[in-house]
Amino acid sequence: MQSRRNFIGRVATGLAGTLATGSVLGANDRVRIGIIGAGARGVELLREALACPHTECAGIADVYTRRLDEARTIAPSAQTYPDYRRLLDDPSIDAVAIATPPHLHCEHFTAALGAGKHVYQEKTLAFTVDHAKLMRAAYLHAGTQRIVQVGHQFTSSGHAADAASFLKPELMGKITFIQARMYRNTPHGKPQWARPIFPDMTPDNIAWESFLGVAPPRPFEAHRFVNWRYFWDYSGGGVFENMCHQLAFWYKAMGLRIPRSVTMTGGIYLWKDGREVPDTMNVAMEHEEEILYTWDSGFGNERLSVTEDVLGTSGTISRTPQTIRYIPEKKNRPDGNEMLGVTRTDPRAHMQNFLDAIRTGREPNCPFELGYRVAIACRMAVESYRQQRAVSWDPIQEEIV
């Protein structure tokens, strides 16, 4: 299989391929979708897509043979490929859902757009700033002919409509602070994110070089493959897995730009199992809009759960995965009433929104530009943690400094 070691150089010099020409679909036309990355999240996306009307899975690609076998039981008629490029060669496939580790997003995203496919790109959009820029160039080159949906599914939830109704100056006053949390716990001896190593996880069944992509070369290691979330070479840790979702929701609702500065602290305080990414952390993001957005997270206690509170001089919006509500600040709105969000959410709403956008040409709920801002903010947090200092965003040079 062709090495991907020089991938970034190929894209930067314009050798990633020529954009293919695709047909325009009608409102009821069947969308043929392919899945790149058939792990737990990829299979979940596959099930969501198949639950949407007028949708079929035509192809599934993964570097691990077991995953191809398992995915074939869900979509028996789909072709399976150990090399994603063979999937992209199929002209009958209209769109792909990419659910690979973050360090591979840029490679798969740019190749899919270059092959003329619409793209559902799992979060977080880009692994590094350089990757984000390459992906943006591919997206702009594709133009309005290709739909890109980034996998921040909260932006398609009923909470998004409820938040918009609460985010009014007369209800909120001046907003200066957003506090978000994400806490989980697992039984003793069962580390967060740990996945089992199966006997068939061998070089014969895993295309190791394809998994490594642009990451540093290493000898084959099944643990590193299956538990890639532990390692900086492939993962952004909790920031890329969890903070990104809570950030994307409010970035969209409030139109927040890339943070001016970010500071992340924390460490590996609980799971001494060889992981490199922290299990306990705090992120503080200062925005040009005069809003401080903080996010803290831990893997040893779930009492604080998953919450977000938007604090204004006249009111507060509090959100959990299940509910969203407005609470007036009685000092400034003595006659204000508490309001509970009422808009329902279909579990497959984000995928359906992607498919609807393909058919109508309308912008999806989480377009590329929103995913780009979130990805830069997340990378700033990772760089702050790893460099043990505050970092800033240079909007002119588009660099973390």
pLDDT tier at 132 (50, 70, 90 boundaries)?
very high
What CATH number matches the domain at 7-155+350-367, 3.40.50.720, 1.10.3720.10, 3.40.50.620, 3.40.50.1820? Answer: 3.40.50.720
- Kindly tell me if the per-residue pLDDT of 118 is higher than 60: yes
**224-236: per-residue pLDDT in tens?**
999 999 999 999 9
Q: Which of 93, 100, 111 is nearest to 55 (CA)?
A: 93
Angstrom distances, CA of residue 76 to CA of 2, 64, 351: 28, 17, 21
Contact 317, 180 (CB under 8 A): no
**240-298: per-residue pLDDT in tens?**
999 999 999 999 999 999 999 999 999 999 999 999 999 999 999 999 999 999 999 99
Contact 144, 234 (CB under 8 A): no
Q: Can you give the pLDDT at residue 24?
A: 56
For the domain 158-210+223-344+378-400, what is the CATH code?
Answer: 3.30.360.10
Q: To the nearest whole percent, how much of the chain has pLDDT over 70?
A: 93
pLDDT tier at 13 (50, 70, 90 boundaries)?
very low
Question: For the whole model, what pTM was predicted?
Answer: 0.93
Domains of the chain, by residue range, sit at 7-155+350-367, 158-210+223-344+378-400
DSSP letter assigned to residue 123: S
**136-192: per-residue pLDDT in tens?**
999 999 998 999 999 999 999 999 999 999 999 999 999 999 999 999 999 999 999
- Residue 145 exposed, middle or buried by CB count within 10 Å (0-12, 13-18, 19+): middle
> At which residue do the structure tokens 């890339």 appear?
258
Q: Which of 399, 355, 358 is nearest to 380 (CA)?
A: 399
- Kindly tell me if the per-residue pLDDT of 6 is higher than 70: no
Question: What residues are paired with 267 via a beta bridge?
Answer: 280
